[in-house]
């Protein structure tokens, strides 16, 4: 029984270490300084709300409308795959300083941007 518990702990620890490795590997930051890129579509109400919140700050962010921007969806897919982010969810996806997030809240964006 003791061996089973140790094996389970090792497997769980290995799984979480692997998830961190996948998330942290492969995605090169787009810029040398702090940045935010919001990947979304104009018709998305969550995207609109997030953009309004960001517009109310002095943060200079980049908006990528994946329906309009040339290669918008493809560029996003490449970045999401490198970040290890499943891309099946709804927009927005937000890249902050080289890390990709799915639908982060406004406070999280500001906190990570300022790190």
Q: What is the residue extent of each domain of the chain? A: 1-115
pLDDT value for 22: 46
Residue 70 preceded by cis peptide, ω within 30: no
**pTM for the full predicted model:** 0.75
**DSSP per-residue codes, 10-76:** HHHHHHHHHHHHHHHSS---SSSS--EEEEE-TT-HHHHHHHHHHHTSS---EEEETTTSTTHHHHH
Report how far residue 90's alpha carbon sits from residue 95's, in angstroms, rounded to the nearest whole number: 15
Query: Domain 1-115 is classified in which CATH homologous superfamily?
Result: Glutaredoxin (3.40.30.10)
Per-residue pLDDT of the chain (115 residues; tens, 9 = 90+): 777 776 666 665 665 555 554 445 478 999 999 999 999 999 999 999 999 999 999 999 999 999 999 999 999 999 999 999 887 789 999 999 999 999 999 999 999 999 8
């Amino acid at each position: 029984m003791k061996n089973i518990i140790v094996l389970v702990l090792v497997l769980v620890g290995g799984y979480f270490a692997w998830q961190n490795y996948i998330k942290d590997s492969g995605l090169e930051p787009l810029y040398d300084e702090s940045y935010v890129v919001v990947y979304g579509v104009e018709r998305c109400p969550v995207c609109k709300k997030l953009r309004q919140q960001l517009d109310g700050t002095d943060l200079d962010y980049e908006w990528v409308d994946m329906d309009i921007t040339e290669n918008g969806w493809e560029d996003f897919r490449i970045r999401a795959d490198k970040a290890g982010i499943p891309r099946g969810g709804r927009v927005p996806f937000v890249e902050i300083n080289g890390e990709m997030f799915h639908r982060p809240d406004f406070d999280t964006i500001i906190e990570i941007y300022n790190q």
